[in-house]
Structure 1
Amino acid sequence: MSNVKVGEAGGISVVDFAPFLDGSRKQEVADAIVQSFKDIGFVYLVNHGLAQDKVDGMFDWSKRFFSQPMDVKMLAPHPADGAHHRGYSSPGVEKVVKDVFDADELKERRAKAPDVKESFECGREDDPYMPNIWLPDGVLSGFKETCTDFYWACREVLEMNFLRALALGLRAHETYFLQYHTKADNQLRLLHYPGVPVEQLKNEEVTRIGAHTDFCSITFLFQDSVGGLEVEDPNEPGQFKCATPVDGAVIVNAGDFLQRWSNDTLRSTVHRVRAPPNFASSVGMTPERYSIPYFCAADFNTVVDCVPTTYSAGRPKKYEPISAAQYIMERLAANY
């Protein structure tokens, strides 16, 4: 395992995914991934197979989109219904929190310390639950096509191979998770964090993204070089470590649904976005930040039970079977 784990960043393993992709050391890579998911719920992947120029191109288009005037971006508005995560959301509209489901409390928290970020979200074109909301034809031509291409590249290159590794690491059949992820019920999100006063972030007058967990199966996150992502230390609740950007890496984390699915074998860990570590500015402002998460969910209409290898007579199942739609839609609606 020492040869496939090539380092650490913020206590998170950096794993070389190439020996899985070429078949030379599949089980060792799978074991390293699962161990990191058990320890902290996150793992960095290098040599993950997705071409860097494709990643760089998506970041370039993201910057082009967010640089448009507000009236242009609002031509693809995110619906008021929080369960329909598609289209553009302006700064301060969303408030990401953990385990807060009361609408009045969410409203109060949003007013007290809004999330200063803007986002654009899309999924597969034939999604019956959440149809995409694009800019009108002729406005920022090429944006839709680039998003769609990147969405499917993440699906085929990252998600499918990572799910195989995850299954092997849990000592299940390599295709175990694939049968529950056949429809690409996923979400690509482009994120832009405008510069904000450092002191306001430190005093929590504003937030970038507050402490929360993801609620899907897995999340792939591409970061720019600015930094700011922090992951809670499982051994010291309330203490966070900086998940420093690693060149050429995608950082992957387990969601709440996967923790439940794995019978709590894997961790869905609290994380947040703050000011970059050790940042000092003569004007007192944080730099703007861009990131691209790709959220992967099990097929919405499929009911899943705990992974068979994660329970036994001595370690019984903790959860009843549930559909991804039932689980995820409740969480989406509660956090917007």
Structure 2
Amino acid sequence: MSSVKLGDAGDISILDFGPFLDGTNKQAVADAVLASFREMGFVYLVNHGLPQDKIDGMFGWAKKFFNLPLETKQLAPHPPSGTHHRGYSAPGLEKVTQHVYDDEELKRNRSQAPDVKESFESGREGDPYQPNIWLPDDLLPGFREACLDFFWTCREVELSILRALALGFRLPEDYFVKYHTASDNQLRLLHYPSVPVESLTKERVTRIGAHSDFGSITLLMQDQVGGLEVEDVTKPGQFKPAPPVEGSIIVNAGDFLQRWSNDIIRSTVHRVRAPPHLTTKDGMTPERYSIPYDMTTVVDCIPGTYSEERPKRYEPISAAQYIMKRLAASY
């Protein structure tokens, strides 16, 4: 364990994923990843196999896209329904919720502090349920190709992490991979415009409110601005910073992985606020960019996570139904 754990950022382990990828210490890495998911639901990975030049390049494309005029970005509009989660969403359009589905409660939720962010979502080409929505090619040449290339690069990292998780559960390495053959994932580009620090600290606006993710795992690339906070698992309602760690990606478990693991793994609530210890001259937060890559599946409890003493807490469920319900509540 000590050979793969490099330290902690806050309460989250920083692990060297390299020994899993090169085969020199696969079981130790797998055990450490699973342990961090059990304890916190989050882990930092370095030497993760996602080339830094590709990460930097995707952040560059995100900045180019979000720097376009609003009327140009809206030529790739997110549909009114959250169940078709593709295209561009302007600031304030999406309001993240946490298990809120009642129409009246959703209205009250949206009338409170808005999420001041803009986003662009894409996935694999040819998805019959959520086809991509792109800008006309001549408005930002190369953007579509860059998004698709990065999507498939993240896919390879995702599969490696799934193999490590399976090994952590003492299952065949392909156990989770065989449930994820359709690549029904999404790549999100997120931009948080500069806003007054006071507005964030007094919660007149939010960047992303407290929520858990929907699917199995999320890979997150964040810039150096910071602001991500993870709920203290020993003190619900209190949050701790998850600061940027150079050369790392953050991986967190979603609701489906918690359900799939019969609650052995945590799907921890998190949010984005003003970076801690922020010093500004004009009272404004710096703008922030991040790139989450999410994934979904269909689940039943993992072998070994239930017994007569610890029975299954969940029935098998279709991920599509649950994910669409959560997405619809955000719009």
TM-score between both structures, scaled by the size of structure 2: 0.99
Could you say which residue in structure 2 is the equivalent of 1:125?
125
Give ranges in structure 2 of 5+ residues lacking alignment. none
Match for 1:305: what amino acid?
D
Give the superposition deviation at 1:331.
1.4
Match for 1:208: what amino acid?
R
The C-alpha deviation readout for 1:68-102, integer Å capped at 9, x for no partner, is 00010000000001111100000011111211112
**SS class of match (1:71):** helix
Give the superposition deviation at 1:280.
1.8
In structure 2, what is the Cα distance between the partners aligned to 1:93 and 1:107? 13
Q: Indicate whether 1:305 and 2:262 are aligned.
A: no
Match for 2:9: what amino acid?
A
Aligned partner of 2:318 among 313, 323, 328:
323
Could you say which residue in structure 2 is the equivalent of 1:140?
140
In structure 1, what is the Cα distance between the partners aligned to 2:164 and 2:330? 31
Match for 2:42: what amino acid?
F
**What does 1:51-62 correspond to in 2, within 5 Å?**
51-62=51-62
Identity percentage of aligned residues: 69
Give the superposition deviation at 1:108.
2.6
The C-alpha deviation readout for 1:271-327, integer Å capped at 9, x for no partner, is 0000001002121100000000000112xxxx4310011111211111111121122
**SS class of match (1:190):** strand
* Residues paired across the two proteins, number: 331
The C-alpha deviation readout for 1:35-64, integer Å capped at 9, x for no partner, is 000001000000001110000000000000
Give the aligned CA root-mean-square deviation in angstroms.
0.8
C-alpha contact (below 8 Å) 1:48/1:249 kept by paired residues: yes
In structure 1, what is the Cα distance between the partners aligned to 2:210 and 2:299? 27
In structure 2, what is the Cα distance between the partners aligned to 1:38 and 1:112? 33
Of 163-172 and 60-69, more deviation after overlay is shown by 163-172
**What does 1:80-159 correspond to in 2, within 5 Å?**
80-156=80-156, 158-159=157-158
Match for 1:320: what amino acid?
E
C-alpha contact (below 8 Å) 1:17/1:46 kept by paired residues: yes
Match for 1:60: what amino acid?
G
In structure 2, what is the Cα distance between the partners aligned to 1:46 and 1:31? 16
C-alpha contact (below 8 Å) 1:101/1:335 kept by paired residues: no
The C-alpha deviation readout for 1:102-142, integer Å capped at 9, x for no partner, is 23322332232110000000000111110000001211000
Match for 2:310: what amino acid?
R
C-alpha contact (below 8 Å) 1:230/1:241 kept by paired residues: yes
In structure 2, what is the Cα distance between the partners aligned to 1:242 and 1:198? 16
In structure 2, what is the Cα distance between the partners aligned to 1:22 and 1:112? 49
Q: Indicate whether 1:218 and 2:213 are aligned.
A: no
Could you say which residue in structure 2 is the equivalent of 1:22?
22
**SS class of match (1:331):** helix
Of 98-107 and 286-295, more deviation after overlay is shown by 98-107
In structure 1, what is the Cα distance between the partners aligned to 2:158 and 2:292? 12
The C-alpha deviation readout for 1:200-257, integer Å capped at 9, x for no partner, is 1111100000000001000000000000000001011111110000001000000001
C-alpha contact (below 8 Å) 2:97/2:329 kept by paired residues: no
Could you say which residue in structure 2 is the equivalent of 1:228?
227
C-alpha contact (below 8 Å) 2:256/2:299 kept by paired residues: no
In structure 1, what is the Cα distance between the partners aligned to 2:330 and 2:103? 9
Match for 1:237: what amino acid?
P
Of 242-251 and 110-119, more deviation after overlay is shown by 110-119
Could you say which residue in structure 1 is the equivalent of 2:74?
74
In structure 2, what is the Cα distance between the partners aligned to 1:183 and 1:233? 34
**SS class of match (2:251):** strand
In structure 1, what is the Cα distance between the partners aligned to 2:134 and 2:44? 31
The C-alpha deviation readout for 1:120-166, integer Å capped at 9, x for no partner, is 0000011111000000121100000000000000001x111000001
